[in-house]
Amino acid sequence: MSLLRSQVTHDFHPASPDLKNCIANIAQTLIKEDQVELADLSTRFALRHWLFGLSFGKKDSERPGYLRWNKKVSIVLGVSSVEELNVAINCYWQVKLNEDGVNDKDTPLEEKVHRMLGHHLNETWPSDLF
């Protein structure tokens, strides 16, 4: 829904303005300090922790060498261009094959984002759908 990325969050997103500002600051910090796009980190996080069922904060040495797909779980990603689709597919293979040790490299970045979110971590908002 456009929140977890470095581009401006779309107006329709129901998150609070404070959360949107916090995410924008986090995204810019990741680019400046770590040369990482928040959207890519978020996609890899979702794949790693949901689709492959790896626990947050575990080092690669604590995980099985082969990532098995959790067939009870699905991931839905919204993309608005072929380029975004290609990036998402690339993120899948980076996690699956642990290219350049990405699974270990992402862990401290994920922890950094969690710290920077502060009280916004796990923030929710009402939905008109349910």
Angle between helices 17-29 and 102-117 (to 10 degrees): 140
* Residue-wise pLDDT tens digits, 51-63: 877 655 555 555 5
Secondary structure letter of residue 58 according to DSSP: -
Integer Cα distance of 56 and 63 in angstroms = 11
Nearest to 114 by CA among 32, 6, 40, 41: 41
Q: Where are the domains of the chain?
A: 17-120
Secondary structure letter of residue 63 according to DSSP: S
Q: In the structure encoding, which two tokens stand for residue 4, read together? A: 């977890």
CB 123, CB 58: distance < 8 Å: no
Q: What is the pTM of this model?
A: 0.83
Please report, in tens digits, the pLDDT of each residue of the chain (130 residues total): 788 899 888 888 888 899 999 999 999 999 999 999 999 999 999 998 888 776 555 555 555 555 677 777 788 888 889 999 999 999 999 998 899 999 999 999 999 999 999 999 999 988 776 5
Helices (H), 1-130: 17-29, 38-46, 82-97, 102-117
* Residue-wise pLDDT tens digits, 95-117: 988 999 999 999 999 999 999 99
Cβ-based neighbours of 48, under 8 Å, separated by 6 or more: 54, 95, 103, 106
Stated length of the chain: 130
